[in-house]
Amino acid sequence: MIICRCEEVSYKELETTAAKYKCSARELKLRTRAGMGYCGGRTCRTIVDKIAVTENGQNSTCVSMKYQPPIRPISFKSLGGEET
C-alpha cells in the first residue's frame, strides 16, 4: 500500500526502514523521502509519525516531522482558469 503518493513510498518500506535503523519520524522521512514530495507531507505525515512511534516505542509527543506548505499559494479561481 502506497503511503506517500508524491514519492511513491510504501507502508512496507516505511516499516522496514523504521525497524532496521530505529529512526525517528524525521530520520524516516530523510531515509525514504516520504513527506518530501509536492504536497509537503500533508497526506502522509501522520502515518509516518505513527510508524516511527510504533516501531521504535518512541514517545508520541516528540514527533519531529514538520508540515511544509506549498511554495506559493494559489487561488481556486486561478486553478479554474477564470482569472479576471
- pLDDT tens-place string over residues 35-67: 888 888 888 988 998 999 888 776 555 555 566
Cβ–Cβ < 8 Å for 7, 33: yes
Confidence of residue 2 (pLDDT cuts 50, 70, 90): very high
Which pLDDT does position 21 carry in this prediction? 93
CATH class of the 2-80 domain in this structure: mainly alpha
- When computed from its CA atoms, the radius of gyration of the chain, rounded to whole angstroms, is 15
Burial of 34 (0-12, 13-18, 19+ CB in 10 A): buried
Q: CA 1, 31, 61 angle in degrees (round to 5)?
A: 85
Which pLDDT does position 42 carry in this prediction? 84
Which pLDDT does position 24 carry in this prediction? 87
Question: What are the residue ranges spanned by the domains of the chain?
Answer: 2-80
Cβ–Cβ < 8 Å for 71, 77: no
Mean pLDDT on 23-30: 90
Structure-model confidence comparison of residues 81 and 58, the more confident one: 81
Structure-model confidence comparison of residues 29 and 76, the more confident one: 29
